Structure formats: structure tokens, C-alpha cells
Amino acid sequence: MRKHLCKILLAVTTVAVVTLSPAAISHLNDKEVPQSYRQSWFTMIALNFGPMVAMVKGEIPWNDDQMTVYADELAILTSMDGMRGFADGSDKGTTRAKPGIWENKEDFKAKMDDMAMAVKTLQTAANSGDRKAIAGDIAATGKACKACHDEYKSKDYLY
């Protein structure tokens, strides 16, 4: 049974990578590597978190297995060094990042860490199958994301 589950997870992950890769690399610009990195990273986060929110809201059918996959992949993404995309000098060019990120990197990093911690809690809930806990942790994760968006993300799209 465990071997069968591993094969299913491998297949789902492969499909997700093949499906989501074009969205992630669509941001690739070899002249603005940090900007491309963070835009692709945030795109992948949105493509995992968005369907989770939609399931909780009833906008798409609830699927326990898919909820778990989204949560697990979201945890993988937030375990990566997202700060790599906010290197000094990457406040210029194609970006929606506000200058405050570079002016107050400690606060920004703390907010990124808060998001990663919220995602870990969400992952645990998603793997438990407890819909009430999942809904609460999706709300908490959304709040952690919004804390950064409110302060550090421009509302205007620059590209």
C-alpha cells in the first residue's frame, strides 16, 4: 500500500511540475535574476495556496488528497530561501516590491519567516484531514501573507 501511495504522489508531483513550470519560468529574465526568482517563487506559492482557499470557500470541490499535495508543496516552497530573490540592488527593474523591503530587511524577513511557520502548521492540518483546522490554518496563512503584501508589495503592476 505504501509503495502504491509513493507512486501516486510521484505521479501527482510530476504532473504538477510539468503543469506549473511554464508559469514559473514565464518570469525568467536573465538580466534581472533576483526579480525573476522571487516572481516565480511567489507564482508557485499562489498556484498552490489559491486552490486551497478555493476549496475552503466551496468554489471548487473539496479533495483531501489534493489539499495534502498543495500543503506539502507549499511547505517545500516556503522552506526554500525566498530572501535570495531580494538581493541588494534587486529593488530596481521589473518589480512590485516596495523599497521598504531593503530599508527594513529584518522586519521583512521576520514576516517571511512567519509565513513559513504558518504554512508548516497548515501542512500538519492538511495531512490530518481535519477540515475545520485546515480552514483555520488557511486563514492564518493568508493573514501572514497579507502582512507582507500590505506593507511591502505595490498595488500597481509594473509589467
Worst-scoring range by mean pLDDT, 2-16, 71-85, 91-105, 122-136? 2-16
Quote the number of domains for the chain.
1
pLDDT mean over 54-74: 97
* Residue 74 in domain: yes
- Spatial separation of the C-alpha atoms in residues 85 and 31, rounded to whole Å: 13
Domain range for 105 is 2-152
- Spatial separation of the C-alpha atoms in residues 97 and 143, rounded to whole Å: 18
Give 136 or 153, the one with higher predicted confidence: 136
- Spatial separation of the C-alpha atoms in residues 39 and 45, rounded to whole Å: 10
The verdict on pTM exceeding 0.95 is no
- Whether the per-residue pLDDT at 25 is higher than 50: the answer is no
Q: What are the cell numbers at 69?
A: 499535495
Type of residue at 56 = V
DSSP assignment of 56-79, as one string? Answer: HHTSS---HHHHHHHHHHHHHHHH
* Residue 158 in domain: no
* Residue 67 in domain: yes
- Nearest CA to 94 out of 22, 26, 19, 151 is that of 26
- Whether the per-residue pLDDT at 158 is higher than 50: the answer is no
* Residue 134 in domain: yes
CATH, residue 49: 1.20.120.10
pLDDT mean over 129-135: 97
- Spatial separation of the C-alpha atoms in residues 120 and 76, rounded to whole Å: 9
pLDDT mean over 43-57: 96
Burial 25-47 (b: 16+ CB within 10 A, else e): eebeeeebebbbbbbbbbbbbeb
Q: What are the cell numbers at 125?
A: 492540518
Average pLDDT value over all residues in the chain? 85
Q: What are the cell numbers at 89?
A: 540592488
The whole-number pLDDT of residue 8 equals: 58
- Whether the per-residue pLDDT at 102 is higher than 60: the answer is yes
